[in-house]
Each structure stands twice: as structure tokens, then as C-alpha cells.
Structure 1
Amino acid sequence: MARWKKPTKEEVLENRRMLAERAQTGDLRLPEAVVEIRRGLGLTQNEFAKILSLTRRQVAEIEAGSANPTLETLVKIGRLFGFAVGFVPKAQ
């Protein structure tokens, strides 16, 4: 099995672009978005938690969809990837 490696700066930018496209089309939803943002930045759950002042368990629960993160936490997560938290129209 290949060993995981941190993405390059170019890969992070490409990940950001792809996620932004998905967000614009309404195809980016919690909790999968949090997983993709974290992975897109090349961070482990521990590293991501430290940046957000959370525990690794809290990050794992958010990613699993079993947590109810505060608006403040969602804003912090979004800010890391250049996103804002807001309402989007529901797909018909």
C-alpha cells in the first residue's frame, strides 16, 4: 500500500478550485466537505484539530456526521479553505 504524502502547494490550490466548483453547484455537503477540506490541505485529523482548537475526537465526529458543530467552528473550517458559511438554494 502506498504511503500517504502531503499535497504540494499546487495540489492544494487544485483541491481548493475543485471544491469551490462543487460548492457553487451545491454539490458540497457536510460532513463530507469537512473531510475533503482537511484532506485537501494535507492535514491529519490531529493537525486539523490543533489548528481549529478542537480535539481529534471532535474532528472525527464532525467528519462522521455525528457531531453538531457550532457556527463558529464551521466558520473556522470554511475560512481555512477560503469559504464562507451561508445558505444555498435547495436543489429542485
Structure 2
Amino acid sequence: MAEWLQRIPGGMQISFDMLEGEVLTEKLGVETWVYSFSVSSLPLTPAERFNMLFRERSKWEWKDLQPYIRDLKVPGLSSEGLLLKYTRRSQPTLDADPVFSSR
């Protein structure tokens, strides 16, 4: 983050939200690791796309998964329909965000 901040013009605010669909982040202790994972490099067919996504991570939170499926267009299926078809939704606790894994 510090290196990124040094490379942008003064006064600009940075956020990982700006990189949605281009990078994945992973918290390891106090550090956040960032690595390239661009939606443009993923297959266009839903089955292949979900297969690739679940090879990258076995479980996804909605906020992380959404940028990688929002461009999928299947006649008669919404994003929620795609999730029902290709994922399993679980919620570890009542107050936790849902997690999606491979069906």
C-alpha cells in the first residue's frame, strides 16, 4: 500500500476497491498480500468461470466474488441464479457474511 501511495499524484485517496476484479487480497496476520487475478483473463462461460474461481479459492465472500461474476450474462439467469446453479452458500454463524463454495 505504501509503495502504491508513493506512485500516485498527491492528494489522491487509494483503496483496494479501486482494484476490484483485477487483484485479490489476502490477510496474513497484520499484513495484506495483494496478487494479480484479472477478470479479463477468466473464461466467458459460467461453468468454466466458476471452475477457475474455485481453483483459485475454495471459499469466497460475496464482496470478493461479485466483481468476477457481474459480467456473466446468461439469458434467463440473474447473478443470484448463477450462484444457485454453481455454488453452495453457507453462513458459519448468524451474524457472519455468507460464504460461497463449489457445488
TM-score under structure 2 length normalisation: 0.28
More strand by share: 2
